[in-house]
């Protein structure tokens, strides 16, 4: 097996529970990059939220790419050029934001520019945390003041898990059909363009780089990694949910015991 791209999730996969890349995993990924293998981080975060990891891995120069917002964008890190884009528009925003109000759940809109918008002054605790940890500027605007030119990378519910549990059974079938939806955390439920998911964007990026699916090693642990695992030779973390393990070709150690690094050593180096 010849691997030319490693596409990996971050939380629960690349990093341990302390949000750190272990020395073994860091060394393995740097060795893979030195060998000419593309290392692509695939995350629900914006670029600003993963910059420290990109810098640590040495991926901020030359031809390196990152997949953000769970697949809405793939970007050349050095130039900032977007090479794959699957975003939403103002009509999507008004539809999804109005639905949030109807279902009494906190919502937030995230633009490709990494600006985060809410339309109620009662801002969710989880929105504040999201803004803080991902370095996204947080803006409050009543829905009527949002400009009609309003691209969105994704729309999210950000609320107590119990509030999302209560809202989900009332999610209209048309919404489920029109958007790619995923519960990325207990307190986050995401709405994205139908084609915006980690797996499809990974394959689109790989195709642009002349890389075939069997030349990609993918790694993940959570529900929003299901399509990623299926996009290449899938590696499930030891801490992964059962659905990920069932789809994967290999189950490695967990994220606190160098699982990704061990898989890279075994299949890439």
- The residues that are catalytic are 9
The yes-or-no verdict on residue 170 having pLDDT over 90 is yes
15 or 61, greater pLDDT: 15
- Angstrom distance (rounded) from CA 255 to CA 12: 6
pLDDT of residue 113: 87
Give 122-161 pLDDT, tens digit per residue: 999 999 999 998 889 999 999 999 999 999 999 999 999 9
48 or 212, greater pLDDT: 212
pLDDT of residue 140: 97
Token representation of residue 159: 């609320």
Q: What's the mean pLDDT in 65-74? A: 95
Q: Is 61 left (phi over 0), alpha (psi -120 to 50) or beta?
A: beta
The full set of domains in the chain, from first to last, is 5-85+196-267 (3.40.50.1000), 93-189 (3.30.1240.10)
Q: What's the mean pLDDT in 194-207? A: 95
pTM of the model: 0.88
Give 209-263 pLDDT, tens digit per residue: 999 999 999 999 998 899 999 999 999 999 999 999 999 999 999 999 999 999 9
CB-count exposure of residue 61 (10 Å: 0-12, 13-18, 19+): exposed
Nearest to 93 by CA among 161, 168, 160, 145: 145
Nearest to 265 by CA among 37, 87, 9: 37
Give 74-114 pLDDT, tens digit per residue: 999 999 999 999 999 999 999 999 999 999 999 999 999 88
Q: Check the CA dihedral 253-67-94-173 and report its sign.
A: negative
The per-residue DSSP string of 221-250 comes to: -SGGGHHHHTTSEEEE-TTS-HHHHHH-SE
Nearest to 11 by CA among 198, 264, 221, 250: 221
Token representation of residue 177: 């059909």
């Amino acid at each position: 097996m010849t691997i030319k791209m490693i596409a990996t999730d971050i939380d629960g996969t690349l990093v341990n529970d302390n949000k750190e890349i272990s020395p073994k995993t860091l060394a393995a990924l740097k060795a893979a990059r030195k060998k000419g293998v593309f290392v692509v981080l695939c995350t629900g975060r914006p670029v600003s939220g993963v910059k420290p990891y990109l810098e640590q891995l040495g991926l901020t120069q030359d031809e390196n790419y990152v997949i953000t917002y769970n697949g809405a964008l793939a970007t050349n890190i050095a130039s900032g050029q977007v090479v794959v884009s699957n975003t939403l528009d103002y009509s999507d925003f008004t539809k999804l934001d109005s639905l949030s109000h109807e279902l009494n759940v906190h919502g937030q809109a995230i633009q490709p520019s990494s600006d985060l918008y809410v339309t109620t002054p009662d801002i969710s605790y989880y929105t504040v945390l999201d803004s803080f940890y991902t370095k996204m500027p947080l803006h409050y605007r009543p829905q009527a003041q949002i400009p009609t030119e309003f691209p969105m990378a994704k729309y999210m519910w950000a609320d107590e898990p119990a509030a999302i549990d209560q809202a989900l059974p009332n999610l209209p079938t048309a919404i489920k059909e029109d958007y790619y939806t995923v519960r990325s955390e207990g307190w986050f439920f995401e709405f994205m363009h139908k084609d915006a998911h980690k797996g499809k964007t990974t394959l689109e990026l790989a195709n642009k780089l002349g890389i075939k699916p069997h030349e990609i090693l993918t790694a993940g642990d959570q529900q929003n990694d299901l399509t990623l695992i299926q996009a290449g030779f899938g590696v499930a973390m030891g801490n992964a949910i059962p659905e990920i393990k069932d789809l994967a070709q290999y189950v490695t150690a967990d994220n606190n015991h160098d699982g990704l690094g061990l898989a890279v050593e075994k299949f890439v180096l």
